[in-house]
A and B are shown apart, each in its own frame.
Chain A
Amino acid sequence: KAGVTQTPRYLIKTRGQQVTLSCSPISGHRSVSWYQQTPGQGLQFLFEYFSETQRNKGNFPGRFSGRQFSNSRSEMNVSTLELGDSALYLCASSFSTETQYFGPGTRLLVL
Chain B
Amino acid sequence: AQRVTQPEKLLSVFKGAPVELKCNYSYSGSPELFWYVQYSRQRLQLLLRHISRESIKGFTADLNKGETSFHLKKPFAQEEDSAMYYCALKPGSSNTGKLIFGQGTTLQVKP
**Interface residue ranges, A against B (CB under 8 Å):** 3-4, 31, 33, 35, 42-45, 48, 50, 55-56, 58, 90, 92, 94, 96-105
Q: Chain B contacts of A44 at CB under 8 A?
A: 101
Docked-complex contact B99 and A45, CB < 8 angstroms: yes
Docked-complex contact B96 and A56, CB < 8 angstroms: yes
Docked-complex contact B43 and A105, CB < 8 angstroms: yes
Docked-complex contact A43 and B101, CB < 8 angstroms: yes
* Chain A, Cβ-Cβ closest to B46: A99
Query: What are 26 A-B contacts with C-beta separation under 8 Å?
Result: A31-B97, A33-B97, A33-B98, A33-B99, A42-B101, A42-B103, A43-B86, A43-B99, A48-B96, A55-B95, A55-B97, A56-B96, A56-B97, A56-B98, A58-B98, A90-B44, A92-B97, A92-B99, A96-B97, A99-B49, A100-B97, A101-B45, A102-B43, A102-B44, A102-B45, A105-B43
How far apart sit A20 and B77, CA to CA, in the bound complex (Å)?
41
Provide the main secondary structure of the chain A interface. strand
Nearest CB of B to A1, in Å: 14
Residue in B43, B45, B98, B99 whose Cβ sees the most chain A Cβ within 10 Å: B98
B31 at the interface (CB under 8 A from A): no
Number of A-B residue pairs with CB-CB distance less than 8 Å in the complex they form: 57
B94 at the interface (CB under 8 A from A): yes
Nearest CB of A to B99, in Å: 6
B100 at the interface (CB under 8 A from A): yes
How far apart sit A45 and B98, CA to CA, in the bound complex (Å)?
7
How far apart sit A33 and B103, CA to CA, in the bound complex (Å)?
18
* Chain B, Cβ-Cβ closest to A58: B98
Q: Chain B contacts of A94 at CB under 8 A?
A: 97
